[in-house]
Structure 1
Amino acid sequence: MQHRRWEDIASMILGVAIIISPLWLGITETPTVMLVTALIGAAVVALASLEVVFLRRWEEILALACGVWLAIQPFVFGYDPPLRNWHIVLGALVAILAILELWQDRNRDMSA
């Protein structure tokens, strides 16, 4: 099965959306949330970029972890809508995309 590049591009777009989400929604009073969100978004972009060059399972597993963390982050830091809703949706999309990629590559030899 051939790896689908659109999935990597979609992950990069989601990563950028994660990075800009606090600024886009005008949430600037919580620097911790902004910093953690920027780091998660940058990690999603970096992992998706790596998948374009080197296809490894650990990249998708880390992307899944980033998505799950982003979805639960609003409850850990206790912030309110609309940013909470955006982060739950964006985190779920990242996680679903990572699960899809893991499922598609389940029989692929990724040792090389």
Structure 2
Amino acid sequence: MALHFTKRRWQDQVILLLGLWLFFSPWALDYVPGSAIALNANIAGTVIMLLAAFDLYKTYAWAVMLNLAVGVWVAVSPWVDALADRSAMMSNCVIVGVAVALLALWELRSDPELHRQVVGGT
């Protein structure tokens, strides 16, 4: 069973790398260990990586839509966690979250297989 590393899967590959960065960003950006934003980055990064890796293996619209939702969550989470005054942490979450959401949306709109799943209901 080979992974589908094709040109049309480049979004999943980038999303996987963004999830990896998000997971390790608390250490790279000196987040307070165990803080809400650090745990959020670790959990969301893990979910993003797992969904992107799964989508590279087998394409399901629900996995891409879930990554879209997680990306939106990551982008708004600094305000939910009341950390908007911490610029590095806030910027990281907003940039990674928006990038993941946009890439997932792009993939949903451009991948014929995903389009069939969403429109055709299969």
Q: Fold conserved (TM > 0.5)?
A: yes
Where does residue 6 of structure 1 map in the other structure? 10
Where does residue 38 of structure 2 map in the other structure? 34
Q: How far apart are residue 31 of structure 1 and its match?
A: 2.2
Where does residue 72 of structure 1 map in the other structure? 76
TM-score by length of 1: 0.89
Quote the Cα distance in structure 2 between the aligned partners of 1:37 and 1:15.
9
Structure 2 residue runs of 5 or longer lacking an equivalent are 1-5
Determine which of 37, 40, 58 is the counterpart of 1:54. 58
User: Identity over the aligned pairs, expressed in percent?
Assistant: 28
Structure 1 residue runs of 5 or longer lacking an equivalent are none
Q: How far apart are residue 32 of structure 1 and its match?
A: 2.0
CA offsets per residue over residues 5-49 of structure 1, 9 Å max, x none?
221110110001111112111112552221121110001100101
SS, match of residue 4 in structure 1: helix
Quote the Cα distance in structure 1 between the aligned partners of 2:61 and 2:75.
21
CA offsets per residue over residues 66-94 of structure 1, 9 Å max, x none?
11000000000111211101110110000
Higher relative contact order (CA 8 A, sep 6+): 1
SS, match of residue 82 in structure 1: helix
CA RMSD of aligned residues (A): 1.8
Where does residue 87 of structure 1 map in the other structure? 93
Where does residue 23 of structure 1 map in the other structure? 27
Quote the Cα distance in structure 1 between the aligned partners of 2:21 and 2:41.
10
Where does residue 99 of structure 1 map in the other structure? 105
